[in-house]
Structure 1
Amino acid sequence: MTRRRPVLDLDPAQVVRARELAHAASAPVVDLARTRTTVSVERAVLRAAGLEGADAEGIPWVNHLVDAVRRQVGLEQGVAVPVWDALARAEAGDLTVLAQKAAVDGVRFALPSGSAREHALVGARAAAAGGVAGIDAARAEREAMVARIGDPPQRPWIYLIVATGDIYEDIPQAQAAARAGADVIAVIRSTGQSLLDYVPEGATREGYAGTYATAENFRLMRAALDEVSVEVGRYVRLTNYASGLCMPEIATLAGLRRLDMMLNDSMYGILFRDINPVRTFVDQRFSRQVHARAGIIINTGEDNYLTTADAVDAAHTVTVSQLLNETFAHEAGLPDRLLGLGHAFEIDPAVPESFRLELAHALLARTLFPDAPLKWMPPTRHMTGDVFQGYLLDGFFNLVGSLTDQDILLVGMMTEAVVTPWLSDRDLALQNVRYVQRAAGGLAEDFVPAPDGLIATRARHVLGEAVDLLERIVGSEGGLLTAIEHGTFGGMKRPADGGRGLDGVVERGDDYVNPVSEILEGDQR
């Protein structure tokens, strides 16, 4: 028997209006993304085709090959035709050798026409099909393991972080966390990797406040979690970050290496890493197409807004972002079951009725997105170093998660913002979660907020403010890009022609071809 989820009695017409406005606000951005490519999208095509490895300086061969094509013939038609034309003309025997020769200007690229172009397209499409088949195989392997081992017995899934900087230290910590009850392991990415316009190669042992996202690190951690999944009798999921300047490439590597969740927000990189908005929106569309094919749950980043903006005053911007993320995700082929929309427990505890306000915001998200695996984030901004108050706040956070039937719950740490948590801190945090789940895990069945009480009234107010903001965005010149420029989200002002990575954006020509996108757009599951 499916248990009843708590819901708010929202005005159906207002909910429909909110989604209509979100679609109208996102449509120009989708059009922009459909008519442009980026260096990272083109590198992702080559990664899907099997190109890997790097030179002695650590610069990947995909970077060298895309850069060489761009210098000689441009990327307006995409990288696929000139690369597979060069292979057809025997410029090199395979992609790796071609990239190595291109790195020293040893290859002549061209934009063929007629039968030569058709021949190049056959080769490119076959290579892309092989890469997508690899993503399909990884998805099938996940589904088979879940069927054999089983999912965690209850929701929310408990989400824990490891972040030593050394993948070989991360592995035993991740396995210990799984044994202690974690259902999802997130390997925090090394600080600043989102600003690198290349993906490091191989296993890495040095990272600041996190571990580099690489194909080999993905493989090592997934293998370790497969091992502990069998041991604990439930499939333990792996999370990393598909964001930053290499979002499409990391998404592709995640699909091939069977990651299960990826942080993939439509605006996070724009707001908090000053990555160019156009670059981000083009890259995120392709990355979400990959995630849809791979069956990867994305986690969006609305919680971050409340670290730089007031969680009460700016609550409606979270709802607007959730609606936009939903629209972008659906357009890219992601179904609701893969849409881990984010929100957070970040109201100042000194605010009167703060717990009831948190309930209102969490229940609004649950009501608006009933089929999405919502990701609920713990208090961070108002953790003061008083570990006793912090532990209590985390308990309240866990209680809201139970009351509103959240799906993915990131475990709060009482030492947040004080020190990197010790293993003992993590054990205490897990005890907190387990106590609340045992004592109140089914409370959502009994929780019915008063129709005209503070919780319901506050939720309706936030939804109304969200609709008002969306109307202003749709009615303004420049739409969503202008809203971002004016600091609407998180208080961060990011102009469309500013930020990192704009030089990597290319407007598509009439003959543009992306053989990976052709497959993904032809069969979005």
Structure 2
Amino acid sequence: MTGKLDLDPVVVRKARTLARSIGRPIVRTAKAHTTTSVERATLRLGGVTGADPDGTPWVNRLTDAVQGDVGLEHGVALPAWDALVRGEAEDLVTLARKAAAGSVRFRLPEGRDLVRARSAARKQIGAGVRRIDAQRRTRERMVARIGDAPRTPWIYLIVATGDIYEDIPQAQAAARAGADVIAVIRSTGQSLLDYVPEGATREGFAGTYATQENFRLMRAALDETSRELGRYIRLTNYASGLCMPEMAAMAGLERLDMMLNDSMYGILFRDINPIRTFVDQRFSRQVHARAGIIINTGEDNYLTTADAVEAAHTVTTSQLLNEYFAKEAGLADWQLGLGHAFEIDPDVPDSFRLELAHAMLARELFPQAPLKWMPPTRHMTGDVFRGYLLDGFFNLIGSLTGQGILLVGMMTEAVVTPWLSDRDLALQNVRYVLNATGDLHEDLQPAPGGFLQRRASAVLEETVDLLQAIADHEHGLLDAIADGTFGLMKRPADAGRGMDGVVKKSAGYCNPASELLEATS
């Protein structure tokens, strides 16, 4: 699609320059802080698993104990592995048990004790990172041996019943019906839990709890189906909310392939403290970069609260910022599933042409990124026939603009949680459009100076104006978020959930996981 919109390269360069200048102070802030979830993710990479009889994970117990004794300014690694080296326990889980019972105290080691603790921590955490490396190699071997989806866009279908043992056969059925990516929607409210539930779960609310065991079970089932179908089926879950770094670590350890990962979603729609989630996002994206996981960002959510025509430039602005944050963390273009959506009111004149212009703009700005194209939700009325038609139009634009990831729209959106039969009809819609249009995007050539080119250029100009306004704020992006620039939500930097879990690093901060991941990024 490159060049079809005749975008001004000077304007495009200015947009990216502004995005970098806005993003750099956020990265500096992220580098200067840690969070309780970053430290818990570090312990998970060190091999800590399991939970106490009340369901509180041992990583939480151990992190809380270290924080209570010496704080987290130096990180959890040195005090925890110092205790192991001193013989307080034979392993980290036992250490966590003893810490929860109050039978061990932590200290900040010095001298030779510090060297020994750092060496022990780096060795054990390094083993966890190498396990992520091995899972990435396993994925690559499976794709080479079994085969991949025959074409793009990949068809992305949501499955989530609340019961992982019900999700598995539904996911396998979806793959057999044509889905290339299975997304297990997370239980409502899990993003606000400051811990990750343990084990296989059988009850959830409008979704299934994201746990490491659930990840393992679904990945194993989809591997079986991949071999059956002769194409690798990808698995998606969430690295967002208060446990974003831990979710990323678990995804890498269990070979998930995509993760929804966007700090702005948590800030705007879950009222998570901006500093907390920017710190967590950077660490989690470094894990994703190492694991070869594709991220999905949440710009489509802005259009569920703001008008999709008037706020189109906020989507592009966020995409450019997300591109900077992702690449700074080490992600490659092929891992950037930047989000956008078909959310214009269908009663607006030229709504299809506007949607087409917006989708083409995203495709041209990020030509090597897969992009995640999201179906209509806001203006689905319960009329399933109208909804099915809208989804067909959405699928057509996905084909016309060469999107990389196409989330299957459901005609029962806003009516019920889709049945298997609803998903089957939705997949039929996608398959018909993609088969019928083939490589039609090669033939799409907008009229020079016509509607599509004018609209795309106008959105890009508005994007540059907004980026400039954000750059002119005293505190840049943090001020813009506080002012309600995105999705009409106002979220100040000194408020929000999880703020008490943000810790400024000391000069002696040590985190072997961060050191290994920084080397990657």
Task: Check if 1:357 corresponds to 2:360.
Answer: no
Query: Equivalent residue of 1:267, what SS?
Result: helix
1:309 pairs with one of 302, 306, 319: 306
Aligned ranges 1:260-279 → 2 under 5 Å: 260-279=257-276
After superposition, residues 422-461 of structure 1 pair within 5 angstroms as: 422-461=419-458
Summarize the alignment of residues 303-342 of structure 1 with structure 2, pairs less than 5 Å apart.
303-342=300-339
Deviations 1:288-332 (A, max 9, x none): 000000000000000000000000000000000000000000110
| Distance in 1 separating the partners of 2:2 and 2:366 | 12
| TM-aligned CA deviation for residue 5 of structure 1 | 6.2
Structure-2 separation of matches of 1:30 and 1:366: 26
Q: How far did 1:6 drift? A: 7.1
**Aligned residue identity for 1:126:** K
Amino acid at match of 2:422: D
**Map of 2:153 onto structure 1:** 156
**Residue identity matched to 2:467:** L
Partner of 1:390: 387
Q: Would you say 1:487 and 2:487 are equivalent positions? A: no
8 Å contact kept, 1:158–1:409: yes
CA RMSD of aligned residues (A): 0.7
Partner of 1:214: 211
Q: Distance in 2 between matches of 1:411 and 1:310?
A: 22
Pairing partner for 2:282 from 273, 281, 285: 285
TM-score (norm 2): 0.99
Q: Residue in 1 aligned with 2:80?
A: 83
CA distance in 2, matches of 1:412, 1:481: 33
Does the aligned pair in 1 maintain the 2:346–2:379 contact within 8 Å?
yes
Query: Hey, what's the Cα distance between the residues in 1 that align with 2:295 and 2:520?
Result: 19
1:40 pairs with 2:37: yes
Check conservation: 2:5, 2:452, Cα contact below 8 A.
no
Contact 1:6 1:444 in 2 (8 A): no
Does 2:180 correspond to 1:179? no
Secondary structure of the structure 1 residue equivalent to 2:263: coil
Q: Which moved more, 1:101-110 or 1:404-413?
A: 101-110
> 2:283 aligns to what SS in structure 1?
helix
The secondary structure found in structure 2 opposite 1:409 is: strand
CA drift at 1:95: 0.4
Structure 2 counterpart of 1:407 = 404
Q: Runs of 4 or more off by more than 2 Å in structure 1?
A: 4-7
Deviation at 1:381, TM superposition (A): 0.3
**In the alignment, what sits opposite 2:18?**
21
Contact 1:344 1:376 in 2 (8 A): yes
Q: 1:350 to 1:480 in 2, by over 3 A?
A: same
Contact 1:6–1:363 (8 Å) recurs in 2: no
SS at match of 2:62: helix
Secondary structure at the residue paired with 2:256?
Answer: coil
Residue 167 of structure 1 is matched in structure 2 by 164
Name structure 1 gaps, 5 residues minimum: none
Shift of residue 422, structure 1, vs aligned partner: 1.2
8 Å CA contact 2:125, 2:512 repeated in 1: yes
Alignment of 1:118-267 (within 5 A): 118-267=115-264
- Scaled by the length of structure 1, the TM-score of the pair is 0.99
Matched, 1:110 2:107: yes
Paired residue secondary structure (1:118): helix
Contact 1:7 1:366 (C-alpha < 8 Å) held by counterparts: no
What are the residue-to-residue correspondences of 1:51-62 with 2, within 5 Å? 51-62=48-59
Question: Following the alignment from structure 2 to structure 1, what is the Cα–Cα distance between the partners of residues 462 and 244?
Answer: 32
Q: Structure 2: any 5+ residue segments left out of the alignment?
A: none
Distance 1:523 1:332 in 2: 9
C-alpha distance after superposition, 1:243-289 (max 9, x if no partner): 00000001000000000000001311000000000000000000000
The answer as to whether partners of 2:372 and 2:407 remain within 8 angstroms in 1 is: yes
AA aligned to 2:287 is V
Instruction: Report Cα offsets for 1:178-197 as digits up to 9, x if no partner.
Output: 00000000000000000000
